């Protein structure tokens, strides 16, 4: 369970204060696939970064599975991220010098997984996302959709409890976007992972349980979507 309580985020730009988020509150149930949408500049990425522990709120609290994140120091936050969270970015953020497989096992290596295990696990996950035949390739040899699937595999290697995605389909055509969304939906259903995804596209709702709409840094609407929450208990 993720509890976002009265979270505000102010950026200081010289003498000017930019209020990116103001008093945002909602909860997300385990295993939910939730979208965050809203106009450009409405605070979507800021909110995702805060829930993903990549940024801290100016005020308010974030509680994940009963753990008050504000009370953790930086080392504990890093540990929490490695143990529990996975990220998918709009621009894939793959390391060009590394092979597909090396990109995928990097977070597992960082977490201290043994070599045999991370080699085997990364190959397995790449097969699951349909790229078992591409593991020794470099990212630039792949299409955009394939690169995003590598990024998804990388986000999954440590079997995170929560997966964050910031407009993962922004650079993809609608057919490739559907492949990515279908994959996320399958992972959500099969493993009960909580997924929080920022999107601009209304049709993405058909893959989600709920959509949270931001306007000027505040929640302006929340609507149930087409899917029901899969019960994993
Ligand atoms: N590092 C920063 N320093 C100053 N202002 C920032 C910073 N990051 C974001 N902002 C401001 O905070 C507001 C929200 O930005 P944010 O990136 O969260 O919007 P967004 O909804 O993700 O937009 P987009 O759809 O364009 O990605 C904007 O007004 C933005 O200019
Ligand atoms: Mg953004």
Q: Domain residues of the chain, as ranges?
A: 2-224
Q: Say if residue 180's pLDDT is above 90.
A: no
More confident site: 220 or 180: 220
**Can you tell me the distance from the alpha carbon of 149 to that of 137, in angstroms, rounded to the nearest whole number?**
13
Q: Say if residue 186's pLDDT is above 50.
A: yes
Region 207-231: mean pLDDT is 87
Q: Which atom belonging to ligand 1 lies closest to the Cα atom of 217?
A: 14
Residues 98-144 pLDDT 10s: 999 999 999 999 889 999 999 999 999 999 888 999 999 999 999 99
Contacts of 43 (CB under 8 A, 6+ apart): 9, 20, 21, 24, 214, 216, 217
CA of 11 to the centre of ligand 1 (A): 9
Residues 187-199 pLDDT 10s: 888 888 999 999 9
Residue located nearest, by CA, to atom 11 of ligand 1: 20
Model pTM? 0.90
Q: Say if residue 231's pLDDT is above 80.
A: no
The dihedrals phi and psi of 115, each to the nearest 5 degrees, come to -60, -50
Q: Say if residue 233's pLDDT is above 80.
A: no
Share of the chain above pLDDT 90, in %: 75
Q: Say if residue 146's pLDDT is above 70.
A: yes
Domain 2-224 has CATH 3.40.50.300: yes
Residues 58-90 pLDDT 10s: 999 999 999 999 999 999 999 999 889 999 988
Share of the chain above pLDDT 70, in %: 97
Cβ(155)–Cβ(163) below 8 Å: yes
- Classify residue 89 by burial, with Cβ atoms within 10 Å: 0-12, 13-18, 19+: middle
**Confidence band of 232 (pLDDT split at 50, 70, 90):** low
Q: Which atom belonging to ligand 1 lies closest to the Cα atom of 46?
A: 18
Kindly state if the Cβ of 40 falls inside 6 Å of ligand 1: yes
Contacts of 98 (CB under 8 A, 6+ apart): 106, 138, 139
pLDDT for 37: 97
**Can you tell me the distance from the alpha carbon of 30 to that of 215, in angstroms, rounded to the nearest whole number?**
25
């Amino acid at each position: 369970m993720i509890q976002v309580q009265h979270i505000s985020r102010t950026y200081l730009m010289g003498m000017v204060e930019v209020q990116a988020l103001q008093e945002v509150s909602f909860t997300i149930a385990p295993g939910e696939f939730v979208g965050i949408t809203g106009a450009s500049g409405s605070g979507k990425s800021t909110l995702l970064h805060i829930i993903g522990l990549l940024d801290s709120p100016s005020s308010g609290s974030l509680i994940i599975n009963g753990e008050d994140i504000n009370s953790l120091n930086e080392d504990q936050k890093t540990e929490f991220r490695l143990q529990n969270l996975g990220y998918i970015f709009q621009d894939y953020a793959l390391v060009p010098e590394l092979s597909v497989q090396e990109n995928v096992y990097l977070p597992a290596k960082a977490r201290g997984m043994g070599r045999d295990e991370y080699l085997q696990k990364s190959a397995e996950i790449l097969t699951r996302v349909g790229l078992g035949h591409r593991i020794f390739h470099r990212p630039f040899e792949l299409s955009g959709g394939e690169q995003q699937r590598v990024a998804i595999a990388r986000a999954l290697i440590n079997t995170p409890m929560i997966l964050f995605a910031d407009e993962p389909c922004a650079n993809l055509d609608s057919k490739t976007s559907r492949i990515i969304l279908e994959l996320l939906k399958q992972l959500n259903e099969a493993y009960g992972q909580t997924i929080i995804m920022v999107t601009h596209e209304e049709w993405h709702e058909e893959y989600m349980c709920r959509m949270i709409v931001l306007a000027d840094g505040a929640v302006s609407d929340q609507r149930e979507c087409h899917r029901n929450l899969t019960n994993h208990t």
